[in-house]
Amino acid sequence: MRGARTYGCLLAYLLTLALVVITAYDQFTAHSAQRTTTGLAQTLFETLTLTQWFLVALVTPALTTSAITMEREQRTIDLLIMTPLSRFAIVWGKFTSALAFVVVMILCGMPLVAVLFLMGGIDVGAMVVRYAGMVLVSAVLASFGLMMSAVCGTSTLANLITYGLVGVLYFVGALAGTALVMSRAFGGSSGISTTVFGLTTWQFWMFTLGSVFLTVWLFLQIAANYLLLDPREGAWKTRLLTAVLYLWSVSTTVLGLQNSPSLISGQDLLAMLMMTWLAPIGVAVSTGVPMTGRRWYEWLHPRALAVGTVQSAPLYLVLLFMATLMGGLWVPASFRSSAVVWVFCAGYLWWLWSLGYAFSTLIPNRWGAGTALVGAIALGVQFVSTLSEVLDYRALYTFINLFVPFAPFAPRNLPSNVELWAALYPALGLVVTIGTALIRRRRERREVDRGDG
């Protein structure tokens, strides 16, 4: 708050809001058939809050993406780490300062909203919900930008990755919103209810607040780990937070299915949601820099979970998978999957880990290996689906299971082959794992021979 740039940003923010309100007012008075004061207030309120959402989402990542990279570029990171503050305290201080500025921005626009209350028609509850959601979204964006600032080496790269991912999410959200509006226009559902998964309003908000809190904590912990000499030393904290977030989601889903099982249909719903959550977790923990100096069976010891390396990922995924199986015992019988489906899901996680292990061996960089694995999965799915459409041979769709767990959740007009892939996944994963281990052993022998030479 001591620099002129801060007040310049606030001035530009308020001028933008004022310009949007003036434009919306002119459009309403010129084209609206019902020029009532209440209708005008509601229109301006919708326009104002939507603009604030956009501006907050645009500004928030910029406040944190250079918070740590700037320290590195100015060579002050070592002095900062030598202070009595812990790594997490440093990250937490940068996060709270950025979030406080976002709150100041939101509060600066409140006088415009206060004027609309004089016109009537503004629901206080709706206003509180929207601004609370605005703060929660800004907290997630700020923590994500801070994480990328710790991971990336330069501010340019951190900004590019952060805004690229945010842009993709906004694009997906726009498509989902357009689909919702079109479905409502052609006789679909009249809206989204918080009881769609059997959750009451307060349960929905408890789940949302808990998820945001754990997500922000996870991002900040990852940023703190990258301030260590070896980020793998603090990986047990990120794995613990990831497990808590995953269990929080599973328990909420089980609670919703217990409350109103008649609202949703689908026997494999819990298994489908589990794979949706565990697939990105599997990619994250299965890629990195593999550690040497241990036998394969040593990674099965529980103490290996504290080591953030690729070899300890299978045990971690097994524990999460077992927790899901225990949660499945509490859901109604109509949602319980068969044993074959669970074997299929477990086999896919093993197959996914083997691919991550192979990519991590070929690409000695955590983020490079993870990006390459996700890109290979996306390209594989696109290639199989395109080839199936060109050849008009739907049996080829079964090969999508090489990349994503498609068989149990395939539409009726497409091949399922759950039993086939439940047997293929363990065999394929074992072949890839053995091949990767042989490649790593040859590399180690070459390095030893070079050292002796």
pLDDT tens, per residue, the chain with 453 residues: 677 777 888 888 888 888 888 887 777 776 655 566 777 777 788 888 888 888 888 888 888 988 899 888 888 888 888 888 889 999 999 999 999 999 998 888 888 877 777 777 677 777 888 888 889 999 999 999 999 999 888 888 888 888 888 888 777 766 665 555 555 444 444 444 444 456 777 888 888 899 999 999 999 999 998 888 777 777 888 999 999 999 998 888 888 777 765 545 556 777 888 888 899 999 998 988 777 777 777 777 778 887 778 888 899 999 999 998 888 888 777 777 888 989 999 999 999 999 999 999 888 888 889 889 999 999 999 999 898 888 878 888 889 999 999 888 877 777 778 899 999 999 999 999 999 988 888 887 887 777 665
Q: What is the pLDDT of residue 191?
A: 41
Q: What pLDDT does residue 176 have?
A: 60
> CA 23 to CA 11: how far, in whole Å?
18
User: 109: closest CA among 196, 155, 51?
Assistant: 51
What proportions of the chain, in percent to the nearest 5, are helix, strand and coil? 80, 0, 20
**Tokens 């028609």 belong to residue:** 121
CA distances to 30, 128, 224 from 271, in Å: 53, 35, 33
Q: How far apart are CA 272 and CA 278, in angstroms?
A: 10
Q: Report the distance separating Cα 92 and Cα 86, nearest Å.
A: 10
Query: Is residue 341 a contact partner of residue 272, using CB atoms and an 8 Å limit?
Result: no
Predicted local distance difference test score (pLDDT) of residue 126 = 78
Q: Burial, 400: exposed, middle or buried (Cβ in 10 Å; 0-12, 13-18, 19+)?
A: buried
3-state DSSP call for residue 299? helix
Q: Which of 236, 77, 91 is nearest to 153 (CA)?
A: 77
Name the residue among 15, 47, 13, 14 with its Cα closest to residue 28.
47
- C-alpha pair distances (Å), 428 with each of 62, 421, 434: 44, 10, 10
b/e per residue 184-206 (b: at least 16 CB within 10 A): eeeeeeeeeebeebbbeeebbee
The per-residue pLDDT for 433 is: 93
Q: Which residue has the tokens 């298994």?
A: 271
pTM given for the model: 0.85
Number of helices and strands in the chain (H, E): 15, 0
Structure-block tokens of residue 110: 């409140």
Q: Alpha-carbon distance 285 to 242, whole Å?
A: 10
Domain ranges (residues) in the chain: 1-189, 271-453
| Separation CA 28–CA 364 (nearest Å) | 58
**What is d(CA 298, CA 278) in angstroms, rounded to the nearest whole number?**
24
Looking at 1-36, list the stretches that DSSP marks H as alpha helix, in order from N- to C-terminal side.
Answer: 4-31
Both structure tokens of 122: 């503004």
Alpha-carbon separation of residue 170 from 60, 163, 174, 175 (angstroms): 15, 10, 6, 9
Question: What whole-number distance in Å separates Cα of residue 453 and Cα of residue 449?
Answer: 6
- Written as six digits, the tokens of 9 are 């940003």
Q: Which residues contact 50 (CB under 8 A, 6 or more apart)?
A: none
State the pLDDT at residue 428. Answer: 95
Question: Distance from CA of residue 109 to its chain's centroid?
Answer: 29
Distance CA 312, CA 300 (A): 7
Pairwise CA distance, residues 287 & 374, whole Å: 11
Phi and psi, residue 264, nearest 5°? -125, 145
Structure letter (DSSP) for residue 264: -
Return the beta strands (E) in 106-146 as ranges. Answer: none
Q: Which amino acid is at 310?
A: V
- Counting Cβ atoms within 10 Å, is residue 431 exposed (0-12), middle (13-18) or buried (19+)? exposed
Please state, in angstroms and rounded to a whole number, the distance separating the CA atoms of residues 175 and 169.
Answer: 10
Q: What is the per-residue DSSP string for 326-345? A: HHHTTS-GGGPPPHHHHHHH
Q: At what angle do helices 124-151 and 201-225 cross, to 10 degrees?
A: 20
Instruction: Give the model's pLDDT for residue 187.
Output: 46
